[in-house]
Homo-oligomer: A and B are copies of this chain.
Amino acid sequence: MAPVSVRDVEQAGERVSGFVVRTPVLPFLGAALAGDNQLWLKCENLQRTSSFKIRGAYNAVSGLNEAERTRGVITYSSGNHGQAVACAAHALGINAVIVMPEDAVPLKVEATRGWGAEVVFAGHTSLHRQERAMELVEEHGYAVIPPFDDRRIIAGQGTAGLELIEQLPDVQEVVVQVGGGGLISGIATAVKARRPDVRVIGVEPEGAADARDSLRNGRLTTWDRIDTVADGLRTSRIGELNFATISELVDDIVTVTDDEIIEAMALLATQARLVAEPSGAVAPAAVLFGRTGLAGNRVLAVISGGNVDPALLASSLERSSHRQVAPVHAG
């Protein structure tokens, strides 16, 4: 399968514009940073559905033909991609079916139904959900909108890369979280086409570092045991299409610990006044805790989403308020 080109991303940009929010790039002004880097944040937590996933989902759903639209769409992600497909379908007047695990969080089920989508429950594993989705496709002819290893999805996520290069033209490094790899593949495609000199760094939780291993081993590597608080990045391996793109375009992949992720969530809330979900805080965490190995650079980190359990955010804030650490102001 041919890799996604910057032209694909530009076309996605035209398709999603007017619906997808051109999210702000904000300077992180709170604290002096490791290695004297300066940090900007691309705020996909302020995106429609509070996650970048709407970019790919809307690009894919809006590209369907009339016959496909009439039959409706299906996906088998219980997380942000499921909500994004439901939202995109709702906006375009298309029926959507979202297959979720039987033990799905009630709040996520309600949020998905809030977009008018039909929720179907199936087992507890992603394999169960995918099998059930395929049965329903067989029966009803739904169009499948997969979460990441899909050219339309990658091109859609890449629109964030086109925006950020326009918004921060003198950026030197772009730091992006890696789950299935769709977001970083899209962003790297856009960024490297426009500015080959800008470094693109991936970040994974220490407990789900399959993409780092894949990049370093030079072959797609699967992790059987995944353990991280960052629920959006609990993938055992990245997509094949994404692996090809990452191998070609991404400069390095680094990791952060769960403690650093939770701490970064609290720092974003108390110093940047932004609510990030654990996965969303992963790329900023790498810069805040000096994991990218860079110094004296203008760095942009993506906050990929903000769909955090309020109780988890509250507990991260309580930890942080007990420390009573005041901000340290740079220069």
A positions within 8 Å CB-CB of B: 21, 24, 26-27, 29, 45-46, 48-50, 87, 90, 106-107, 110-111, 113-115, 266, 269-270, 272-276, 306, 309-311, 313-315, 317-318, 320-321, 324, 326-329
Max chain B C-beta neighbours (<10 A), residue from A24, A273, A276, A309: A273
A272-B46 CB under 8 A given contacts A21-B26, A107-B324, A111-B326 = yes
A326-B274 CB under 8 A given contacts A26-B46, A309-B321, A318-B314 = no
* Bound complex: CA A106 to CA B326 (Å): 9
* Bound complex: CA A260 to CA B64 (Å): 43
The interface residues of chain A, by DSSP majority, are classed as helix
- Residue in B49, B90, B107, B313 whose beta carbon sits within 8 Å of that of A317 in the complex: B313
* Bound complex: CA A267 to CA B331 (Å): 35
In the complex, are the beta carbons of A114 and B327 less than 8 A apart? yes
Chain B residues with Cβ below 8 Å from A320 are: 310
Other 10 A-B pairs with CB < 8 A, given A274-B274, A314-B315, A314-B321: A21-B26, A24-B24, A24-B26, A107-B324, A107-B326, A110-B326, A114-B329, A310-B318, A311-B317, A314-B314
A209 to chain B, nearest CB (A): 27
In the complex, are the beta carbons of A310 and B317 less than 8 A apart? yes
Chain B residues with Cβ below 8 Å from A29 are: 21, 48-49
